């Protein structure tokens, strides 16, 4: 694994004086009273994302990407360098439980057209917040290439969430842990 040197991408401000800092590195700062102190800022290994709809956890080193392709739809993507990860969509004007099959078809259409064999199974998961998400899980195989997709949703009157997990087993070294952490910590905060 390549050694990564953290650059001073953060700033610490104390009494109006700002110092550029890097995560995990110690700095000696002189306070107004002349006393010298040592400070360091570290990032937790497990980070939390939370808004008024959902909360979830993910490992440090990954960064959620956000987009809103439509005023009534928000999307959060959390992908590893190998392309495995999670896609979560928040629907503000429709209940997405009816589009699980459509989403699954869109996610796997290219592989199915190429000739992958598909094994489909029902998927249910009780979220950390107590609700039951329902959907489908598929395994796609072509030779030694094996890919797993899960699409599940839950919602109510004209709103809800749908999420997709994606795992190509060729690159699943630690990526399955990212997906498991997501599934274990996802909470839906509406209702």
Distance CA 77, CA 7 (A): 25
Q: pLDDT by residue (tens digit) across 16-50?
A: 888 888 888 888 888 888 899 888 888 899 999 99
Distance CA 127, CA 187 (A): 6
Q: How confident is the model at residue 78 (pLDDT cuts 50, 70, 90)?
A: very high
Q: pLDDT by residue (tens digit) across 125-183?
A: 999 999 999 999 999 999 999 999 999 999 988 999 999 999 998 766 789 999 999 99
CA distances (Å), origin 59, targets 28, 41, 85, 100, 175: 29, 17, 12, 27, 10
Q: pLDDT by residue (tens digit) across 88-119?
A: 999 999 999 999 999 999 999 999 999 999 99
Helix (H, G, I), strand (E, B) or coil at 116: coil
pLDDT of residue 3: 47
> What CATH number should be reported for the domain whose range is 46-188?
3.40.1000.10
| Domain layout of the chain by residue ranges | 10-39, 46-188
């Amino acid at each position: 694994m390549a050694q990564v040197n953290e650059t001073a991408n953060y700033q610490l401000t104390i009494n109006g004086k700002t110092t550029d800092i890097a995560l995990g590195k110690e700095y000696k700062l002189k306070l107004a009273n002349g006393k010298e102190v040592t400070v360091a800022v570290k990032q937790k290994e497990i980070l939390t994302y939370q808004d008024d709809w959902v909360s979830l956890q993910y490992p440090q080193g990954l960064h959620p990407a956000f987009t809103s392709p439509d005023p009534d739809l928000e999307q959060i993507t959390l992908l590893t360098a190998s392309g495995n990860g999670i896609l979560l969509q928040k629907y503000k004007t429709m209940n997405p439980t009816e589009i699980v099959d459509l989403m699954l078809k869109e996610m796997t259409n290219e592989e199915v057209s190429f000739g992958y064999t598909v094994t489909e199974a029902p998927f249910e998961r009780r979220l950390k917040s107590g609700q039951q998400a329902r959907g489908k899980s598929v395994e796609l195989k072509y030779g030694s290439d094996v890919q797993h997709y899960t699409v599940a949703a839950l919602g109510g009157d004209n709103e809800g969430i749908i999420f997709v997990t994606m795992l190509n087993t060729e690159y699943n070294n630690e990526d399955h842990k990212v997906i498991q952490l997501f599934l274990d910590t996802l909470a839906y905060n509406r209702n």
